[in-house]
C-alpha cells in the first residue's frame, strides 16, 4: 500500500482506539494443552478468563499478535479479553487496563508492556490477587521484577539484539567506502528498543568504513519517524544507511526520503509488516526482521494456560527471528 495511505489509516486508528535483558534458557516452543474443566456446580465461569494487554492496535504488528492469541482461545476453549492502549507511549493507560483486568478477576494476564519498569507495581497487584502473569514481546526489567518480589514471571519473545544485528549487518554488506549511517530508536525505556538499537549499532560499526552520525528516538511512530528523519537528514544530508527499530518508523522514514528525492539511502526495519513487505518488493525498503507476532500471541496464551494447570514453564522462551529481503520474497 502507498505510504501516504498508510499514514491516513494510522491517523484514523488513533481516533478509533481508546485505548530486560536476553539471558536464561532458550527453547523453541511451548506445548499447547486444553484448559482443565471446572468442577460440576462450580460458580466460576466454565471458561478460564485470560486477559491480553498490548500496546496498541494502530501498529499492524499487534493486530497479528491478537490473531495468534485468538487462535489459542479457539483451540483451548477459554475466554480471551483483549485490551489495548491508544498508542505505544500510553503507559498510564496500559496500567489502568491491567487494573481493569484485576477488577474483572481474570485467571491470567498476558502482557506486551509499553515500558519495562512502569507496569511492574500494577502487575505485582495482579500477582497478589492470584493472577498468573506472562510477559511477551518487550521484556520487563529483571532487577525491578526481583525488587518487587515478582520472581516467577516468564518471558516469551525474541532476541531483539540478534535480530537487529541481522538487519544492520545486511545494510553494512558490501560497504567499502566511507559511509554515514543513522538509527531510528523506539521508546528508550523499553528493553526491546534498547536491544534493537544496540544490535544495529554493533553490526554497523563492525564495518570500519561506516560512521554512525545519529541515533534518535521516534517512539515507534510512523508520523514521528517522518519528522525525526527530516530533522536528521537536514543535519546530516549525506546519511546513506538507516536502521529503524520497527517497520512503522521505517515507513515514516521512507515517506520522507521519497518526498525529498533521496533514493540512494538504504533502509531496514523490524517486524515484517505486510506494508513493509510491499515496500521491499518495490525496492524501497531493503530488509526487515520477522519476529512472528502471531506466534508470540499464541504461545503467550498457551503458556498462561499451562501455568493455570500448575505446570512449570521455562523462565525464558525465545522465538526465532528471520531476516526478510527481496531475495526471500521472489
Strand pairing partners for 181?
212, 241
| Distance from C-alpha of 61 to C-alpha of 70, rounded to nearest angstrom | 15
Residues of the chain with pLDDT below 50 are: 1-2, 5, 7-42, 44
d(CA 56, CA 134): 18
Where are the CATH 3.40.50.2300 domain residues in the chain? 47-158+292-320, 160-290
* Predicted local distance difference test score (pLDDT) of residue 20: 34
pLDDT score of 33 = 37
| Of 76, 114, 150, residue with least CA distance to 309 | 76
Identify which of 328, 30, 305, 50 has the alpha carbon closest to the alpha carbon of residue 157: 30
CATH number at 160-290: 3.40.50.2300
Let me know how many helices (H) and strands (E) the chain has, helices first: 12, 12
Q: Domain 47-158+292-320: what homologous superfamily?
A: Response regulator (3.40.50.2300)
CA–CA separation, 290 and 145 (whole Å): 28
Which pLDDT score is estimated for 38? 45
Q: Is 174 left (phi over 0), alpha (psi -120 to 50) or beta?
A: left
Amino acid at each position: 500500500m502507498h505510504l501516504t495511505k498508510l499514514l491516513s489509516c494510522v491517523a484514523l486508528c488513533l481516533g478509533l482506539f481508546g485505548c530486560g535483558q536476553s539471558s536464561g534458557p532458550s527453547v523453541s516452543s511451548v506445548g499447547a494443552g486444553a484448559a482443565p474443566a471446572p468442577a460440576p456446580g462450580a460458580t466460576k465461569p466454565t471458561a478460564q478468563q485470560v486477559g491480553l494487554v498490548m500496546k496498541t492496535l494502530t501498529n499492524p504488528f499487534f493486530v497479528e499478535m491478537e490473531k495468534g492469541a485468538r487462535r489459542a482461545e479457539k483451540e483451548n476453549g477459554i475466554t480471551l479479553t483483549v485490551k489495548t492502549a491508544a498508542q505505544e507511549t500510553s503507559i498510564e493507560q496500559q496500567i489502568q487496563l491491567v487494573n481493569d483486568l484485576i477488577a474483572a478477576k481474570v485467571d491470567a494476564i498476558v502482557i506486551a508492556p509499553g515500558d519495562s519498569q512502569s507496569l511492574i507495581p500494577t502487575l505485582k497487584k495482579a500477582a497478589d490477587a492470584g493472577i498468573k502473569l506472562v510477559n511477551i514481546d518487550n521484556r520487563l526489567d529483571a532487577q525491578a521484577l526481583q525488587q518487587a518480589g515478582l520472581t516467577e514471571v516468564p518471558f516469551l519473545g525474541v532476541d531483539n539484539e540478534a535480530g537487529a544485528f541481522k538487519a544492520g549487518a545486511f545494510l553494512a554488506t558490501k560497504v567499502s567506502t566511507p559511509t554515514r549511517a543513522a538509527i531510528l530508536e523506539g521508546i528508550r525505556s523499553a528493553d526491546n528498543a534498547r536491544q534493537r538499537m544496540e544490535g544495529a549499532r554493533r553490526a554497523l560499526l563492525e564495518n570500519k568504513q561506516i560512521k554512525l552520525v545519529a541515533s534518535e528516538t521516534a517512539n515507534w511512530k510512523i508520523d514521528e519517524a517522518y519528522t525525526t528523519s527530516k530533522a536528521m537528514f537536514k543535519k546530516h544530508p549525506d546519511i546513506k544507511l538507516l536502521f529503524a527499530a520497527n517497520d512503522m518508523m521505517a515507513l515514516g522514514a521512507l515517506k520522507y526520503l521519497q518526498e525529498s528525492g533521496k533514493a540512494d539511502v538504504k533502509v531496514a526495519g523490524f517486524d515484517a509488516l505486510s506494508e513493509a513487505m510491499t515496500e521491499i518488493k518495490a525496492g524501497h525498503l531493503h530488509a526487515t526482521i520477522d519476529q512472528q507476532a502471531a506466534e508470540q500471541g499464541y504461545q503467550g496464551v498457551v503458556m498462561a494456560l499451562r501455568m493455570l494447570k500448575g505446570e512449570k514453564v521455562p523462565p525464558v522462551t525465545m522465538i526465532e527471528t528471520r531476516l526478510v529481503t527481496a531475495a526471500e520474497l521472489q
